[in-house]
Amino acid sequence: MSVPTATGRFGEFGGRYVPESLVPACAALEAAFRDAWADPAFHERLARLRQDYAGRPTALTPAETLSAQLGVTLLLKREDLAHTGSHKINNVLGQALLAQRMGKTRLIAETGAGQHGVATATAAALFGMRATVYMGERDIARQRLNVFRMELLGAEVIPVTSGSRTLKDATNEAMRAWVAAVDEAHFCLGSVGGPHPYPWLVRELQRVIGEEARAQTPVIPDVVVACVGGGSNAAGTFAGFVDTPARLIGVEAAGGAAMTNGRPGVVHGYRSLVLQDADGQVLEAESIAAGLDYPGVGPEHAHLGTTGRAEYRTVTDTEVLDAVRRLARSEGIICALESAHAVAWVLRAAGTPDLPTGSTVLLTLSGRGDKDMATLAGEVA
């Protein structure tokens, strides 16, 4: 995918819409990233951490039973097997290394499903840093397991009570906290949103998903599919296939579908497609998956969507729950509710013109479902 312009734009999207208080921090992060990314020693350290600590490369698993049932060849890129249970660790290990390089002693993060919070708490423990994680009250209630994990790892979890009490408001609070702690703290943003350079930086750190998958697939798949919240696992996956003929498909939650229902807007420091009302007030998203319960989407997705290189679809909570069960029973894999969005689209589209019989599909399973057991226990028969 493309390198953003000097002002951090992908086409008309992106940018750096932050208060002057944060501009020097964003500029310093960009400089540090450019410097680190050109430094073989940085890549070497990151590669070692990925292998020895995070357990990469993750497997590429053929979903044999489902493939036979659906009439497509379904290959699963197993980010659920990465340390801490999701792709979020890829991003956080890179950002923690950068933060250390910049002399920061503290990580501030926002989290929805808690997977990014757990990854941040993990990296902070590993690097001997302090971690403060902002999480909406509603998400704290539905992702309790991850709150315990973060606290056990030594992170401070701060409940956010404003607005929708989900990821949107946790992101606001984390950015406000960053303003007050910018000297000592790195804002460890969890997806491909936020002010420049975050969308680019996070995509480059998640690129490992797509590159590994590309090397692991015997053929270029016809379709590459991943779920989209902010869009980081999808961006990382797409990055490995954007230069191939593969169709790129991002799957959103029907209640949090910024690519499908959003309009151009500015929120959380970047310009993209945003769910908003006619007056420009940001709407509250609604999804059974806390990690997809977010009204915006990364600017590069907005660009890929408006240029037609990637396509975006939505699935409902009901389809998602069905997908979790189908995957569990046919393959022995309990995936995260977020990841199940991608599975749900394949289940629906297989055998239709959207995904013709005989297609090869590469699907990123962004995380495992342990965190969702309380929700699933109530919903899956």
Ligand X SMILES: Cc1ncc(COP(=O)(O)O)c(C=O)c1O
Q: Least Å distance between CB 95 and ligand X?
A: 14
- 306 vs 330, beta carbon nearer other proteins: 306
| Residue partners of 238: CB distance under 8 A and separation at least 6 | 1, 210, 224, 226, 248, 250, 304, 310
CA 257 to chain centre: 14
367 binds ligand X (CB under 6 A): yes
Specify the residue, 103 or 154, whose C-beta has the smaller distance to other proteins.
103
Kindly state whether residue 227 participates in binding ligand X, applying the rule CB under 6 A: yes
Q: What is the DSSP string of 33-59?
A: HHHHHT-HHHHHHHHHIIIIIS-PSPP
Sequence-ordered strand ranges (E) for 144-236: 156-160, 185-187, 223-227
To other proteins, the closest distance from the beta carbon of 360 in angstroms equals: 25
The answer to whether 92 and 114 are in contact (CB under 8 A) is no
Check if 88 is active-site.
Answer: yes
Pick from 67, 95, 122, 339 the residue near ligand X by CB under 6 A.
Answer: 339
Interaction between residue 116 and ligand X (CB under 6 A): yes
Using the rule CB under 6 A, is 150 a contact of ligand X?
A: no
User: Is 110 among the residues known to form the active site?
Assistant: yes
Q: How far is CA 70 from the centre of its chain?
A: 27
- List contacts with other proteins (CB under 8 A): 7, 9, 11-13, 15-21, 23-25, 162-163, 168-169, 172, 175-176, 179-180, 182, 262-269, 271, 273-274, 276, 278-282, 303, 305-308
* Residue placing its CB nearer to ligand X in the complex, 153 or 182: 153
Its sign, for the CA torsion 267, 36, 186, 124, is: positive
Q: What are the strands of the beta sheet with 13-14, ordered from one edge?
A: 9-10, 13-14, 270-274, 263-267
| Contacts (CB under 6 A) with ligand X, residues 68-107 | 86
Q: Which of 77, 88, 168, 371 is catalytic?
A: 88
Interaction between residue 366 and ligand X (CB under 6 A): yes
**Under rule CB under 6 A, which residues in 165-224 are in contact with ligand X?**
191
We find the least distance from the C-beta atom of residue 35 to ligand X, in angstroms, to be: 25
Q: Which of 255, 191, 251 is nearest to 226 (CA)?
A: 251
Nearer to ligand X, 96 or 336 (CB): 336
The string of DSSP codes covering 275-303 is -B-TTSPBPPP--SSGGG--SB--HHHHH
Tell me whether the omega of the peptide bond preceding residue 197 falls within 30 degrees of 0, making it cis: yes
What is the β-pairing status of strands 130-136 and 223-227? Answer: unpaired
DSSP secondary structure, 64-111, as one string: HHHHHHHTSEEEEEEGGGSGGGBTHHHHHHHHHHHHHHTT--EEEEEE
- Which positions from 240 through 299 interact with ligand X, judged by CB under 6 A? 291-292
50 or 87, CB closer to ligand X? 87
Q: Closer to ligand X by CB, 122 or 232: give it.
A: 232
291 binds, among other proteins, ligand X, none (CB under 5 to 8 A by kind): ligand X
227 binds, among ligand X, other proteins, none (CB under 5 to 8 A by kind): ligand X
Say how far apart CA 317 and CA 322 lie, in whole Å.
9
> Which one of 77, 86, 104, 110 is the catalytic residue?
110
Q: Is 184 a catalytic residue?
A: no
Residues in contact with ligand X by CB under 6 A are: 86, 112-113, 115-116, 191, 227-234, 291-292, 336, 338-339, 366-367
Catalytic residue IDs: 88, 110, 366
